[in-house]
Structure 1
Amino acid sequence: MRRYAEPVVVADDLTLLHGRTAGVVTLPRHLDWSGAADYDLDSPGRIVDLYRTVLLEATKPDDLHAVLDRALLTRRRPSLWFPPAER
């Protein structure tokens, strides 16, 4: 367990996850400051990267609601790896 762990943000309700399912998504700086904040949703690998980044870096449920899509999250969940503290 991390000594100074940030709280994990969860969606208020999975039906509120209404993010885009195609095209390119650019995350705001507070979610992705890497300089590679553009995610092509037509690329399965980038979808996994986007979802993992948002789930780990979200600071409020609205971050999840705006970016994630319920069906896509459900379909991609087996491909998402998280550190033990976030599981």
Structure 2
Amino acid sequence: MTIIAQHLKCDLRKKCASCSKYLFSPKQRTRYFYCPECKYDILCDRGLIQNFTTDRNGMIKKQNLCMICRTEVEERMWPDESENIE
């Protein structure tokens, strides 16, 4: 997690073709994605690969994968209530 002046920074800014969100303010709760393999914080959908699979019952499941390592990412909220940012 990279924090600059209490703002969460996107770790994939230099990897994406066009960055739409670079920093998240701590004033408003916002969803972001975390890759447990790369340890990157991904602030927008442009750093993700959306993969759709079908189970044997025909139900479609959407997976958000890291653009770098293709590992399924975790959805998190910023700021994290467990962290004390002051």
TM-score for the superposition, normalised by structure 2: 0.29
Q: Which structure has greater strand proportion?
A: 2
TM-score for the superposition, normalised by structure 1: 0.29
Q: Which has the larger radius of gyration?
A: 2
- Higher relative contact order (Cα pairs below 8 Å, separated by 6+ residues): 1
